[in-house]
A and B are shown apart, each in its own frame.
Chain A
């Protein structure tokens, strides 16, 4: 292939498709449903940001973690605690939450990424339990089991008061989501994202062609942690409350499930998964939360056994892209 032809092929692979505007259309459609849906829409938008951050780690970098809520919680508590102590400006609060989570992610990444597989899983699990217990016991700072009360968020940009219907909150969360989504889209298509995927597929070969494996994984870990912290900060500002469940293992498991339902390792899997999960939960669990848990469990098992690609995997199969994908997956992958 000539150099120009190669460049064109790359461009085609990464070009913006019309169908990719659908999430934005969906965001704009929520206000048409009336004020009842702002709260759900906001929660979904926050989950999507959180799931996107996890997708970067699990889907793109191939690092399975059971402790991602650690960073969500850190961001939420950082933003919330700043607000309780007199700084409730939303944008800088978000920045603070993101920075705290990203810094912790960098430190933790340097420590835990030297290990792999089961040990890595256990380290992330211990880390989230440790953080949860610290948040529980340090009640002078975090409010302990009662949660962080007294969070008050100042008007957005000094003008828009967070209203009771959640209109401003929804607009705020949507704007953040669109920015994160565009940023993630750019990141995974950039050489950085491509090199991370190269590490996921074959760390040995990636190292051999000159990718600084550990440094890059730590960077991904920090970015992912920062985005999770952003989601946490966003939730703290809009709900004006932070609780122990925001930094717990169950949230880690839930977001992993959301991502897998949509399809890990792809941008739009992290968007469609949380949407499907939370809309279904809203429809089904109002009457009986136990039945919801039962069917969710069954659904996860079925997805893992029969549709490992999640919703988007099924969509692929229907539209006939499956053949190409399996052909790519069949190529021998040597792991070191």
Chain B
């Protein structure tokens, strides 16, 4: 019983981080049809910003939980306007290459600034302790990660369904031409959602720093997992990415517990088979 709870707990924490990092990508892909392999760069930026601010400038960790996504959002908006927007509608090869180039630049700059070593992320003492809940004990930090992930997912789902901006996004995903002809300025919408996705990526990158290990190859390390979440969920669905993240978190944690000899092979095999049976992902419509 204890093991099952533990596995579920670990899976949830893992899934929350995956969800936060990948949800922005899912939106960009749905809106612009752009395969942003470089999305992990925002996660890396968020993680490093937080780590440097906490250790270097002595800012409190909770403050960075807000500050770091805001800064990265501005950075993402800038990048979208200056570079990404030029590549919408270009060939797949160009988009893929562009992203690889961007990852190279990001990881080289990170290595030049902060060195090649794994960067520790100091946590407030209140978070780095075990919490007793009945007969079970949980790592407080992971509880927070799950909380943030769950709240974000709920907020996004509600926001998409209930707010004006949400319906604008849905309209643009559904039919970009139609949305434009009824007066939506989709290019502004693109920049805004791109920045929002970057912010969530930064949040996920910061929270996932101890999961993936903050190092200059962070963007490369998370790339494949994030892409998998989007592919499994399917394009143009945001609800799907939450469930896909859960599923992948569960597969990854379960296989690490029971068949560690196979490593990540289980996950990649599962994804491969799933995409064969359902090329559009579990919930994709596009």
**Which of A130, A134, A305 lies in contact with B86, CB distance below 8 A?**
A305
CB proximity of B72 to chain A, nearest CB, Å: 19
A296 and B279 within 8 A (CB): no
Q: A256-B96, A260-B93 are in contact. Are A301 and B263 (CB under 8 A)?
A: no
Which residues of A does B touch, CB under 8 Å? 58, 64, 66, 111-112, 114-115, 117-119, 121-123, 125-127, 129-130, 133-134, 136-137, 249-250, 253, 256-257, 260, 264, 290-291, 293-294, 296-301, 303-305, 308
- Contact-residue size bin, chain B (C-beta under 8 Å from the other chain): 35 or more
- Interface: B247 (CB within 8 A): no
Say whether B55 faces chain A, with CB atoms less than 8 Å apart.
no
What are 23 of the A-B contact pairs (CB < 8 Å)? Answer: A58-B93, A66-B96, A115-B279, A118-B35, A119-B279, A122-B227, A126-B228, A126-B268, A126-B271, A126-B275, A127-B272, A129-B268, A130-B269, A133-B268, A137-B261, A257-B100, A290-B111, A293-B108, A296-B101, A298-B101, A304-B94, A305-B86, A305-B87
Shortest A109–chain B CB gap in Å is 13
> Whose C-beta in chain B lies nearest to the C-beta of A253?
B100
**Among candidates A118, A125, A257, residue contacting B224 with C-beta atoms closer than 8 Å:** A125
The binding surface of chain B is classed by DSSP as helix
Interface residues of B in 60-76 (CB under 8 A from A): none
B112 within 8 A of A: yes
- Measured CB to CB, the closest approach of chain B to A97, in angstroms, equals 23
Q: Given A115-B275, A126-B228, A304-B87, A293 and B265 touching (CB < 8 A)?
A: no
For A249, the chain B residues whose CB sits under 8 A away are 220, 224
Are the C-beta atoms of A294 and B100 separated by less than 8 Å?
no
Instruction: Give me the interface of B with A, judged by CB distance under 8 Å.
Output: 29, 35, 83, 86-87, 90, 92-94, 96-98, 100-109, 111-112, 220, 224, 227-228, 231, 235, 261-265, 268-269, 271-272, 275-276, 279-281
Across the interface, name the chain B residue whose C-beta is closest to A260: B97
Q: Are A114 and B279 in contact (CB under 8 A)?
A: yes
A123 to B271, CA, bound (A): 8
Are A137 and B263 in contact (CB-based, < 8 A)?
A: yes
B284 to A: closest C-beta gap in Å: 9
CB distance from B33 to the nearest CB of A (A): 8
Residues of chain A within 8 A (CB-CB) of B263 are: 133, 136-137
* Bound Cα distance from A297 to B220, whole angstroms: 14
Question: Most B CB atoms within 10 A — which of A123, A297, A308?
Answer: A297
- In order of increasing CB-CB distance, the 3 nearest A-B pairs are A297-B104, A300-B101, A297-B105
Whole-angstrom distance between the Cβ of B47 and the nearest chain A Cβ? 19
Query: Which of A118, A126, A250, A291 is in CB contact (< 8 Å) with B108?
Result: A291
Q: Which residues of B contact A298 (CB under 8 A)?
A: 101, 105
Using CB atoms, name the residue of chain A closest to B95: A304
Decide if A137 touches B108 in the complex (CB within 8 Å).
no
Contact in complex: B268, A294 (CB < 8 Å): no
